[in-house]
Amino acid sequence: MERITQTLSILTEADKESADEPRVLEDELAVGKKRLYIESYGCQMNFSDSEIVASVMRNAGFATTASADDADVIFLNTCAIRDNAEQKVRNRLKQLNILKKRKPELLVGMLGCMAERLKAKLLEEEKMVDIVAGPDAYRDIPKLVEEAESGQKAVNVFLSREETYADISPIRLNSNGVTAFISIMRGCDNMCSFCVVPYTRGRERSRDAHSIVREARDLSAAGYKEVTLLGQNVDSYKWTSEDGLENVNFAQLLERVALVDPDLRIRFSTSHPKDITDEVLHTMAKYDNICKYIHLPAQSGNDRILKLMNRTYDRAWYIQKIDRIRAILGEDCGISHDMISGFCSETEEEHQDTLSLLEYVRYDYGYMFAYSERPGTPAAKKYADDVPYEVKLRRLNEIIALQRELSLERNQRHIGQVQRVLIEGFSKRSDDFLCGRNDHNKMVVFPKGDYQKGQYVNVLVTDCTAATLRGVTV
């Protein structure tokens, strides 16, 4: 988050195993064009952004390549959410420096959140970088490339209050042809104390609802079977037309996209506990093609820590939201989480509150991290990062161990059930098996038979692990 892979759906065990691996674009057949190579790190928003960058660069006369060795321009689309993510990019730059010494005309650019966080300082720290562009500067990239080709270092890290890239059709070159992302909003206004996103992606703004529906319709017409609506906080989506006559909230947008095609499955990420509404949950219940799965980050199970994190809800509020999900969407609705161990001043008792929250909710899976202080965030300025690393790691391992138990328990619920599965391709372990996700975003593996990628099949679940369901078609 050095291989070609498919665009991923969200937050599966397979995703977690490769969360720090970059995604790259595929080869595009072209003669006489300059070649663009992009590696994307981090979240799904970055993968979606890389598809926008590829579209902008195609219009500027570039074709994409899956090999850095063949490229005229290399972009690393970076993540700044953890220090580990930034270190991976810096290590990758060292590798690319060897290539640049062999090929001095090669241009190397840094895009995304790490570029926005460090700005022009990146050019001082990483001498081989020629271009630095933040998440709102992608329209400007062809001009930045021209500047760099003339021998100048090129930087644009301007954060916009309006940019949504609504009129740019992303190039789905790293897609499996079955699932795709649709970015519905950019930026974040939540200002969680541990998070760099408001500073690297700017303030929240929602994309024109009509352009989102149009993109979903185009993807459906092109044969895609599933779309994921993306935003840092999709539940705060709110678009108003220029004449002020049309107001669309997230529940209403969800319904509009669901009505595009009953065979087009809809997912979304990420939800914020303070904003998710019963209206959204009832809309999910109303339409069979809206997947019954919600990623609802908690970050901690303790009220004092949640307040230090500026999450703007407490444990009781969060639990009430979980109870509403179960009441409206049923016990089988998939729920996943983000959880941070060892946040500033966290005590052992407060850590136990996190474990007890996991026990109460009984999540299907989650993203779990030890706290990593990010420069410039409110937490870095106001609080001491005073939980020893060994303690953070031990608490993290306890969270992970409990979640594995819960994941297995939740998957065992499906044994004996028939699940509708959208086939995404071959299983990673064997071409004799196919895999795809069910409604609850769980990977299901089954013998391939005569089935093809992009088909819906009914699978009787016969066995499972904590990460995967296994079965046979019926």
290: which residues sit within 8 A by CB, 6+ positions away? 254, 258, 265, 266, 283, 284
Q: Is 333 annotated as a binding residue?
A: no
CB 105, CB 72: distance < 8 Å: yes
Q: Is 291 annotated as a binding residue?
A: no
Q: Is 435 annotated as a binding residue?
A: no
CB 382, CB 409: distance < 8 Å: no
Distances (CA, A) of 6 to 26, 43, 179, 199: 10, 14, 9, 29
- DSSP alpha helix (H) spans, 309-376: 315-329, 348-361
* Nearest CA-CA partner of 36 in 47, 24, 45, 46: 24
CB 422, CB 444: distance < 8 Å: no
464: which residues sit within 8 A by CB, 6+ positions away? 408, 411, 412, 414, 415, 470
CB 239, CB 208: distance < 8 Å: yes
What is the helix, strand, coil percentage profile of the chain, to 5?
A: 35, 25, 40
CB 434, CB 428: distance < 8 Å: no
User: Is the peptide bond between 354 and the residue preceding it cis, with omega within 30 degrees of 0?
Assistant: no
Q: Is the dihedral of CA 236, 241, 245, 248 positive or negative?
A: negative
Task: Output the known binding site for [4Fe-4S] cluster.
Answer: 43, 79, 113, 188, 192, 195
Task: Output the known binding site.
Answer: 43, 79, 113, 188, 192, 195
